[in-house]
Amino acid sequence: MLLEKYTGKDIPRHSVYYKFKENISTDLPSEKYIVLNVNSGEQSRTIPSMKAASLIQAMHEHFDCDILLVGSPKERERLDQVISMTGNKPYVKNVAGEYPLDKLGWILHKSQCVISTDSGLAHFANHVGAPTVVIFGAADDTHTSPYNRGNLTVLKKTELPCLPCRKGVCKFGEPLCINQLSDEYIVTEMEQLMQKELLND
């Protein structure tokens, strides 16, 4: 945690979740969905398009639910390209830039699971209580991962000779630390977190 790093002191951790005062209506066609955020502020923390497409297919085959791709309006074009790589399957929907923060927060909160890069979206999902799986690329998860631990799983490749790395652009073109996390491993970790959340409800 950054405060501990800069103060040199152990800081007690207490879970802090946002509590919605009421239900928020959305126009989502399904109540069973997973939210996926593939973008990040740096190339070295962004899920490559082909990897994103294969992960989408693995998630749908395993969980049999819709996949919502989220992001900012400027990310819509890239997300459309990712969807085209899946064969434009009807279970994948690009909702980037479509919802204000209150509705997006509710969508995250009601999802089966949120899987995200190291980004603001991951922190948002974690804060509203969604089961949140964060795929870390070139970053230090001990300092920048989401705050609440109860609904969080962090996935990070640790066996590469180029690690640790803090560079914004991967020297290999696409971040190996993300590409080498198998879809099967990611899906298994998602399922374990989702089952844990069900037991805690």
Q: Domain with 164 in it: what CATH number? A: 3.40.50.2000
Q: pLDDT band for position 1 (50/70/90)?
A: low
The yes-or-no verdict on residue 156 having pLDDT over 80 is yes
Sheet order of strands, 92-94 included: 92-94, 66-69, 33-37, 113-117, 132-136, 152-156
Name which of 37-46, 138-147, 181-190 the model is least confident about.
138-147
64 assigned to some structural domain: yes
148 assigned to some structural domain: yes
pLDDT value of residue 80: 98
12 assigned to some structural domain: no
How is residue 92 written in tokens? 């994948």
41-94 pLDDT, tens digit each: 899 899 999 999 999 999 999 999 999 999 999 999 999 999 999 999 999 999
23 assigned to some structural domain: no
pLDDT value of residue 55: 98
pLDDT value of residue 3: 55
87-129 pLDDT, tens digit each: 999 999 999 999 999 999 999 999 999 999 999 999 999 999 9
| Structural domain count, the chain | 1
pLDDT value of residue 192: 96
Q: Are 131 and 114 in contact (CB under 8 A)?
A: yes
pTM: 0.91
Burial of 154 (0-12, 13-18, 19+ CB in 10 A): middle
Q: Are 73 and 37 in contact (CB under 8 A)?
A: no
22 assigned to some structural domain: no
Residue 49 CA to residue 78 CA, distance in Å, equals 8
pLDDT value of residue 197: 81
Q: Are 67 and 37 in contact (CB under 8 A)?
A: no
Domain that holds residue 132: 30-200
Do the strands 33-37 and 113-117 form a parallel or antiparallel pair, or are they unpaired? parallel
146 assigned to some structural domain: yes
2-36 pLDDT, tens digit each: 556 667 777 666 788 999 989 999 988 778 999 99
**Average pLDDT of the residues in 178-196:** 96
Residue 104 CA to residue 108 CA, distance in Å, equals 6
Residue 79 CA to residue 3 CA, distance in Å, equals 35
Q: Are 186 and 155 in contact (CB under 8 A)?
A: yes
2 assigned to some structural domain: no
3 assigned to some structural domain: no
